[in-house]
Structure 1
Amino acid sequence: MNIFRKLAHVAIVGGALALVVGCGSDGGRTSSGPADDPGTPDDVASAMTAPKGDECKRLTASEVTEVIGPNDGGQHDFAIGGCVWTATSGAKDGLVEAITATVLSKAEYEGVAEVGEPVTGSADGTTYNPIHGELWFPCRSGDFCGIKVKISDPDKRKDVATRLGKVLQGRV
């Protein structure tokens, strides 16, 4: 691994720790499922105005619950940054379902993204990697946005990633 890649990983972990320590937790609610949490206009407004580094507010509880069902409400993702929502209903076909949303600088993106093939019908420069269920696209003044869809139905991953990518793109 070259020195720049190591530095990128150190920067990501250091930034993640700074976010966790600096932001803390508000002890807010978590998603309990579609019947309990239909999503409110306040959820959408909060998602649309989430500042950089607050990716757990970039998707609403109902948007995530619609895909993976009841979940943990979103936690900071120390692997690639951003936020990961993990299903609380247990494994489906041996896989615990999850959605990850992140916004990275170009350097961070180049160090961690599993870049795939170009995607048509999305923002210029959008790529999708079916092996990892990752959709990446340029966003917000040189940054890169990513959606990772880890669901048990591989035939739906790209559609879900593209749909959530468009939601994320409209909110950054």
Structure 2
Amino acid sequence: MKTLRKLAPVAIVAGALALVVACGSDGGSTSSGPADSSGTADDAVSAVTEAKGGECERLTASEVTEVIGPNDGGQHDYALGGCVWTATSGAKDGLVEAISATVLSKNEYEAVAEVGEPVTGSADGATYDTIHGELWFPCRSGDFCGIKVNISDPDKRKDVATRLGKVLQGRV
């Protein structure tokens, strides 16, 4: 049941984006002029691009590279929102390493986050889930910030998540 709760927001967003891209707008069959610029597929792509820029600026290139090495520079994370940086060096011990940073509303957070256990060394109220390498903490007017560390060394995940969580906390 928890998996379904996690996938529902992703499915809704993916469906909405697919609909916008599939339908687009050419001004309509009754239009005698150029297409209206509101609500087009290009607008949706621009909105995603603008959001990606802000999302992927939450961590610097050097902060991410220090953890996972050369990476893709960050892409919109369709699973959690925010940004995910993926290592470009290939699999390490069978795992393609990645770092995710996101800020979610309380409702989004409750729908997707692996909450875990209380943890010290980061923001007040922070929790860490060992299985998924996720650190979550309250931030910015009731929102929740999250860092997910998907690296091959499980002994370093929590330390990296805590360190990057402090960085994220200082930027939101």
Determine if the TM-score, normalized by the shorter chain, exceeds 0.5.
yes
* RMSD of Structure 2 on Structure 1 (CA): 2.8
Task: Please tell me whether the aligned partners of residues 16 and 78 of structure 1 are also in contact (alpha carbons under 8 angstroms).
Answer: no
| Normalised TM-score (structure 1) | 0.75
- Equivalent residue pairs, number: 147
Equivalent residue runs for 1:44-55 within 5 Å: 54-55=54-55
Tell whether the 8 Å contact from 1:9 to 1:111 is kept in structure 2 after alignment.
no
Q: Which has the higher helix share?
A: 2
> 2:125 & 2:80 partners in 1: Cα distance?
20
Counterpart Cα distance in 1 of 2:145 and 2:62: 20
Q: Which moved more, 1:65-74 or 1:52-61?
A: 52-61
For the pair 1:154 / 2:136, whether they are aligned, the reply is no
Identity among equivalent pairs (%): 78
User: Deviation of residue 108 (structure 1)?
Assistant: 0.3
Cα distance in 2 for partners of 1:145, 1:164 equals: 11
Kept in 2: contact 1:52–1:103 (CA 8 A): no
Aligned CA distance change for structure 1 residues 110 and 69 (closer, same or farther; 3 Å):
same
Separation in 1, partners of 2:69, 2:84: 14
1:164 counterpart SS class: helix
Q: Which moved more, 1:75-84 or 1:15-24?
A: 15-24
Work out which structure has the larger RCO, using CA pairs closer than 8 Å and 6 or more positions apart in sequence.
1
Report the residue type matching 1:22 in the other structure. S
- In the alignment, structure 1 segments of 5+ residues that lack a partner are 27-50
Alignment of 1:83-98 (within 5 A): 83-98=83-98
Query: Which one has the largest radius of gyration?
Result: 2
Shift of 1:11: 5.8
In 2, are the aligned partners of 1:147 and 1:165 still within 8 Å (CA)? yes
Q: Distance in 2 between matches of 1:158 and 1:15?
A: 35
Give yes or no for contact 2:52–2:75 (8 Å, CA) kept in 1.
no
Q: Is the 8 A contact 2:136 2:145 kept in 1?
A: yes
Structure 2 portions without partners, runs of 5+: 21-42
Runs of 4+ in 1 over 2 A off after TM superposition: 5-20, 22-26
Pairwise CA distance, 1:119:
0.5
TM-score, structure 2 normalization: 0.75
Q: CA deviation at 1:124?
A: 1.8
CA 1:92 to 1:22, structure 2 compared with 1: closer, same or farther past 3 Å?
same
